Homo-oligomer: A and B are copies of this chain.
Amino acid sequence: MATAAAMDRVVVEQLVREVVLQKLAEAEGRDQPKLAVHASARHMHVSREDLDALFGPGYELTVDRPLYQEGNFAAKETVTLIGPRSRLISNLRILGPLRSRTQVELAFTDAVSLGLDVPIRLSGDLDGTPGAVLMGPKGIVEMRDGVIRAAMHVHMSPQDAAHYDVSQGDLMKLRVGGDAGITFERVQVRIGPDFRLDVHMDTDEANACGLHLTKDIELFK
């Protein structure tokens, strides 16, 4: 039985950050794939139509910096996200390139701060998820759905999948050692020909396991 109690509302200056941790192949070397783990701060992906509404017709995203997966980037553009009780998150970063459907990815800590009850979903699996309002410099978008907490997942090439003996959609485990010591048991496998071996978690997960404190990380079936 989960009971919410003692609600404390606090206005804080919240610093979000993306922590990147790379684990170089240990010991054996060449045949061991190089594993990267990235913690993503809250962000959004945007459709052509919604980008037009937020930033003006035909607007193009500006690359701020490339991300680890080829072709993906953090844009300079940000929007304001407004939740159901007029609570808001400003400077929500847009990640490129454009997608067919707009999607906002929050950690539960963010969702609680907005008063939104979001489900854990894989990217793109958005039916039945809550919406929110996006505010850009040129207009507003009322999302009917698309706000999720992203399920933890690992990108990998077909070669890496062969190495680990896993298939698309399989669940793997990620053990993070150190003072916090956590095994994440539902890391979904996403295989693509150009994918680099790379686990994506959110800031709650990275903070829970103390990702910035350890190099003792292992991905396994």
Which residues of A are in contact with B by a Cβ distance under 8 Å? 1-22, 41, 64-65, 74, 78, 87-93, 107-110, 112-113, 115, 119-120, 151-152, 175, 179-186, 203-205, 207-213, 215
Chain B nearest CB: distance from A155 CB in Å? Answer: 18
A-B CB contact pairs (8 Å), 6 listed: A3-B21, A4-B18, A5-B17, A6-B64, A7-B17, A10-B14
Question: Are A89's CB and B6's CB within 8 A?
Answer: no
Question: Are B8's CB and A11's CB within 8 A?
Answer: no
Chain B nearest CB: distance from A109 CB in Å? Answer: 5
Question: Most B CB atoms within 10 A — which of A17, A22, A175?
Answer: A17
How far does the alpha carbon of A182 sit from the alpha carbon of B152 in the complex, in Å?
A: 11
Closest chain B residue, CB of each to CB of A16: B8
Question: Are A8's CB and B179's CB within 8 A?
Answer: no
Q: For A74, what are the chain B residues with a Cβ–Cβ distance below 8 Å?
A: 6
Question: Are A4's CB and B16's CB within 8 A?
Answer: no
A13-B87, A210-B108 known; A41 and B6 CB under 8 Å? yes
Query: Known pairs A15-B113, A108-B208. 15 more at Cβ < 8 A?
Result: A1-B22, A2-B19, A2-B20, A2-B212, A3-B21, A8-B17, A10-B16, A12-B12, A12-B90, A14-B113, A109-B204, A109-B207, A120-B180, A204-B208, A207-B208
Question: Are B120's CB and A210's CB within 8 A?
Answer: yes
A21-B1, A207-B108 known; A93 and B15 CB under 8 Å? no
Q: For A9, what are the chain B residues with a Cβ–Cβ distance below 8 Å?
A: 13-16, 91
Copies of this protein in the assembly total 2
Which residue of the partner chain, among B1, B6, B21, B64, contacts A17 with CB atoms under 8 Å? B6
Chain B nearest CB: distance from A72 CB in Å? Answer: 13
Q: For A78, what are the chain B residues with a Cβ–Cβ distance below 8 Å?
A: 8
Closest chain B residue, CB of each to CB of A119: B179
Question: Are B20's CB and A89's CB within 8 A?
Answer: no
How far does the alpha carbon of A6 sit from the alpha carbon of B10 in the complex, in Å?
A: 25
Q: For A92, what are the chain B residues with a Cβ–Cβ distance below 8 Å?
A: 10
Question: Are A17's CB and B183's CB within 8 A?
Answer: no
Q: For A10, what are the chain B residues with a Cβ–Cβ distance below 8 Å?
A: 13-16, 89-92
